[in-house]
Amino acid sequence: MEETPRNSQTTRAILQLRELILNGELKPGERVPELGIVERLGVSRTPVRLALARLQEEGLVDCLSTGGFVVREFSEADIIDAIDLRGALEGMAARRCAERRLSRADLAEVRDCLGSLDSLVRRPALSMDDFSDYIRLNDRFHGLLVELSNSPVIQRSIERMLHMPFSQPGAFVLVQSELPESREILFIAQDHHRSIVEAIEAFEPGRAEMLAREHSRLARRNLQVVLKSQRHLQRLRGSSLIRLAEDA
Amino acid sequence: MEETPRNSQTTRAILQLRELILNGELKPGERVPELGIVERLGVSRTPVRLALARLQEEGLVDCLSTGGFVVREFSEADIIDAIDLRGALEGMAARRCAERRLSRADLAEVRDCLGSLDSLVRRPALSMDDFSDYIRLNDRFHGLLVELSNSPVIQRSIERMLHMPFSQPGAFVLVQSELPESREILFIAQDHHRSIVEAIEAFEPGRAEMLAREHSRLARRNLQVVLKSQRHLQRLRGSSLIRLAEDA
DNA sequence: AGATGGATAATTGCATGCAATCACATATTC
DNA sequence: GAATATGTGATTGCATGCAATTATCCATCT
């Protein structure tokens, strides 16, 4: 998933800096001082600088015209767009999967993942760990579709998106798990998964694409719920980056 | 269009390095030596390094596991995917435009651009300069749709795509201009433009998206033509990066 | 002759120094 | 008292030095 398998220092800086921002230790609009980060991370300015450039590409920070960077802020519209974008890209990936003949092994892997999700969703009650497992499996499912699209260009594009907060497939699952209708949503999501695989196996590219897109609307729905409740918002990773629409 | 309006040195390195690669002065698979670039560009290693990181994000170079970078090679499938991706993203942008009520001024600007393209395409004969103008206007039209989508997320995403070779809207126009059916293609493209604006004005998001997508298929068609003829290929910017499918 | 090993040269990743720029606070003037 | 000017401290962008890793070439061995 990480596109720089290269060794440490710069990579370390990227990961830790991302954590710092997503955990809200750097607030939106706040300038990110190189030296301050150097102190916190214990690496020199060069990798920090590299990391900042990278995070700018990812969209977590904006660069000031005067030089330096600030933590970016995300509006509700931004998040919706990010989700839509992921939907569109995953839609392309699903279409590609349906257009080409997946190998037996590939199909088996997808079906295996689908099966695991099935048995998980159907448990009588879901623990916290179960939800973690769900996120893991869900990520794997989405990752498989992208990988099996057999398109490095699409793959790269999606992987870049996934670095943005709130665009991961499982971004809202943990908070959603606290909703009363949580179970229902999982059923629907899993039905989407099943239908997508069905479309791929039946060589129905248009349907596969459409379903993948529609699937992403679940995230959008969850977003709306989360944004309405301060309690849920607190449990959302990266929530400190969200600018709530002030209704005056 | 350039997202780092910051002043020189690193920016210079990015631009010049991109030129070097696109002009074929660095061949695909070839390692890009930092010091060699330092000599050629007259800037120190630091900005060169920054530029390489950026070009990697853009997809022009790949980073070696051992360290350093190589010029990337593009297969026909890669280019098709890039074109499709642009189509999908511009489709989203067009949809967004149709979903919201564009201001009078915005609409006027789009119509103005459309009108300019119209009068250009309808000239009895097209000179080389006319084709340059067409590319400029065409870029402007596509840029307007993206800008008026009013979505920074989508906008950023597309701008990043446009750094990849062969994904610019006008990438194939210059070579296409040498084809006998060139005129016909321009008419069709312009009809797409017209229909997209029509859909936007009529608040038909689905239709706007579909048309924008279909519009990108023209580039795909042009690609196929170009790839079949060595003569056309030579006139394509960045053609040195293409790995032709060897049919043995 | 081909393959394996080792030494040397080259290249990269990182840290740091330096100069230029920018931000901020104080002082000054209207 | 408010706004502008000025000076100082902080911060960034760039260049370069150093160490470690990697690639290359040649000699040696099977």
Find the distance separating the first CA and the last CA of chain B, reported in whole Å. 42
Stretch (H or E) spanning A20:
helix A10-22
Task: Report the C-alpha gap between B172 and B220 in whole angstroms.
Answer: 9
Of B57, B63, B154, the CB nearest to A6: B63
Query: Across-strand partners of A62?
Result: A70
Which residues of B spanning 56-95 put their CB closer than 7 angstroms to strand C?
A: 63, 67-68
* Nearest by Cα to A230 from A215, A211, A244: A244
pLDDT in tens, chain B (248 residues): 333 445 679 999 999 999 999 999 999 998 999 999 999 999 999 999 999 999 999 999 999 988 899 999 999 999 999 999 999 999 999 999 999 989 999 999 999 999 999 999 998 888 889 999 999 999 999 999 999 999 999 999 999 999 998 999 989 988 888 888 888 999 999 999 999 999 999 999 999 999 999 999 999 999 999 999 999 999 999 999 999 877 65
Closest A-chain CA to B60: A153
Is the C-alpha dihedral spanning A225, A229, A232, A237 positive or negative? positive
Amino acid in the structure at residue A98: A
- B156 vs A contacts (CB less than 8 Å): 59
Distance of CA B197 to the CA centre of its chain: 20
Of A50, A65, A151, the CB nearest to B5: A65
B interface test, pick of A64, A89, A153 with most B CB neighbours within 10 Å: A153
Residue B151 pLDDT: 96
A130: its two tokens: 């179960």
What three-state secondary structure class fits A45?
A: helix
- A89 vs B contacts (CB less than 8 Å): 85, 88
Residue A44 pLDDT: 95
Tell me how close the Cα of B153 comes to any Cα of chain A, in angstroms.
Answer: 6
Average pLDDT for chain A: 92
Identify residues of A whose CB sits under 8 angstroms from chain B CBs: 4-6, 49-50, 53-54, 57, 59, 63, 65, 67, 77-78, 81-82, 84-85, 88-89, 91-92, 151-154, 156-157, 160-161
Is B49 near strand C, with its CB below 7 A from some atom of it? Answer: yes
Residue B1 pLDDT: 39
* pLDDT tens for each residue of A119-150: 999 988 888 899 999 999 999 999 999 999 99
Cβ count near A38 (within 10 Å): 17
How many residue pairs bridge chain A and chain B with CB atoms within 8 Å of each other?
66
Distance A64 CA to D4 C1' (A): 25
Residue A178 pLDDT: 85
* pLDDT tens for each residue of A17-55: 999 999 999 999 999 999 999 999 999 999 999 999 999
pTM over 0.75: yes
* pLDDT tens for each residue of A188-233: 999 999 999 999 999 999 999 999 999 999 999 999 999 998 899 9
Which comes out higher in pLDDT, residue A182 or B49?
B49
* Nearest by Cα to A207 from A48, A73, A120, A98: A98
Query: Across-strand partners of A162?
Result: none
The answer to whether the CB of A171 falls within 8 A of the CB of A163 is no
Residue A204 pLDDT: 97
- A63 vs B contacts (CB less than 8 Å): 4, 6
Stretch (H or E) spanning A176:
helix A173-176
Residue B6 pLDDT: 52
Distance A51 CA to C19 C1' (A): 24
Task: Report the C-alpha gap between B26 and B3 in whole angstroms.
Answer: 24
Task: Report the C-alpha gap between A155 and A212 in whole angstroms.
Answer: 15
Of B6, B84, B157, the CB nearest to A85: B157
Amino acid in the structure at residue A91: G
The answer to whether the CB of A78 falls within 8 A of the CB of A133 is no
Residue B128 pLDDT: 86
With b for 16 or more beta-carbon neighbours within 10 A and e for fewer, the B42-57 pattern comes to ebeeebbbbbbbbbbb
* pLDDT tens for each residue of A67-96: 899 999 999 999 999 999 999 999 999 999
pLDDT range class, residue A247, cuts 50, 70, 90: low
Given a cut of 70, is residue A162 above it in pLDDT?
yes
Stretch (H or E) spanning B3:
none
Is A45 near strand C, with its CB below 7 A from some atom of it? Answer: yes
Residue A3 pLDDT: 38
Question: Which residues, 6 or more positions from A104, have their beta carbon under 8 angstroms from its beta carbon?
Answer: none
A interface test, pick of B48, B65, B153 with most A CB neighbours within 10 Å: B153
Is A44 near strand D, with its CB below 7 A from some atom of it? Answer: no
Is A10 near strand C, with its CB below 7 A from some atom of it? Answer: yes
Task: Report the C-alpha gap between A60 and B18 in whole angstroms.
Answer: 25
Q: Report chain A's C-alpha Rg in angstroms.
A: 19
